[in-house]
Amino acid sequence: MAQLIDGKQLSNQVLQKVASEVEYLKGEYGVVPTLAVVLVGEDPASQVYVRNKVKRAKEAGMGSIEYRLDTETTQGDLNQLVAQLNNDPQVHGILVQLPLPPHLDEDEVIASIDPAKDVDGFHPLNVGALAAGQASLVPCTPQGCMIMLRQVHQDLSGKHAVVVGRSNIVGKPMMALLLQADCTVTMAHSRTRDIESLCRNADIVVAAAGRKELVNADWIKPGATVIDVGINAIEADGKRKLVGDVAFAPVSETAGAISPVPGGVGPMTIACLLLNTTRAARRQLA
């Protein structure tokens, strides 16, 4: 059976580091690292994510401000709120929860966030810095996946990693981080031919396709490491439950190490968001 990569436990280690950094910034500089989270509309999954982000920020001793705007919010109103947060010295990190309602332009909103406060790492300047291997605010989910991978592999150099899914939020930044760690990286996506054999050649598979239980045991080389980024809600036995992009039970018989859903990447993402917020706060010290 595969080693379980426990995201809950690992995220607690990251959160402890965050909490001690928060104490330091408060004690030494009188600064309370503060995250502003903006949610537009009523998307139920987004509401859960935002609630968790704000709750964890408070637990870590950070400031957090939640803005809930209604579905009909205009681009002008949203841009104005972002501008106000950009100019507020008490706000160190800004997160606009995605997806936005369809009448709003996500690219425009992301580009309007001050790159120094862009704790999601989605601003084109931060995306470019990451691609060029420069220090920047790195997207939270891939950052969490790297911490998980380093639990299993002391040295990632030369490992063949396949990333399944090419989103801006996960797949593309994941590719950049794996490359920075000297992995050989293959990007697979919905148009990739014979994705199974590609994955079967991999030492590491990161599944971020947004398709429930897409990755099965016959896709995985015995002993490989599998990171499951998927969060898919399904009905089973009349109950709602979450499953990943990996068929957990069969794959855990083949893989050497695997992250579960829930309790894997999810808590790591939130911990890395708070880590980014303390980093942003530190860089904004006068």
118 is an interface residue for ligand GUN by CB under 6 A: no
- Angle 246-232-60 (CA atoms, 0-180°, nearest 5)? 100
Encoding tokens for residue 200?
A: 């079967």
Active site annotation includes 237: no
Active site annotation includes 53: yes
Of the candidates 272, 57, 240, 50, the one whose C-alpha atom is nearest the C-alpha of residue 147 is 272
254 is an interface residue for ligand GUN by CB under 6 A: no
140 is an interface residue for ligand GUN by CB under 6 A: yes
Rule CB under 6 A: choose which of 11, 97, 259, 278 binds ligand GUN. Answer: 97
Q: Is 166 annotated as a binding residue?
A: yes
95 is an interface residue for ligand GUN by CB under 6 A: yes
SS in 3 state form for 194-223?
CHHHHHHCCCEEEECCCCCCCECHHHCCCC
- What is the rounded CA–CA span in Å between residue 120 and residue 145? 15
Catalytic pick from 97, 159, 203, 228?
97
- Closest separation in Å from C-beta 286 to ligand GUN: 28
Give the C-alpha distances (Å, rounded to integers) separating 219 from 48, 67, 125, 194, 196. 32, 43, 36, 10, 5
111 is an interface residue for ligand GUN by CB under 6 A: no
151 is an interface residue for ligand GUN by CB under 6 A: no
Active site annotation includes 90: no
| Dihedral in degrees, nearest 10, Cα atoms 274, 242, 122, 109 | -100
Catalytic pick from 114, 117, 118, 120?
120
Residues marked active site are found at 53, 97, 120
Residues lying near ligand GUN in the complex (CB under 6 A): 95-98, 120, 140-141, 169
Which residues make up each annotated binding site for NADP(+)? Answer: 165-167, 231
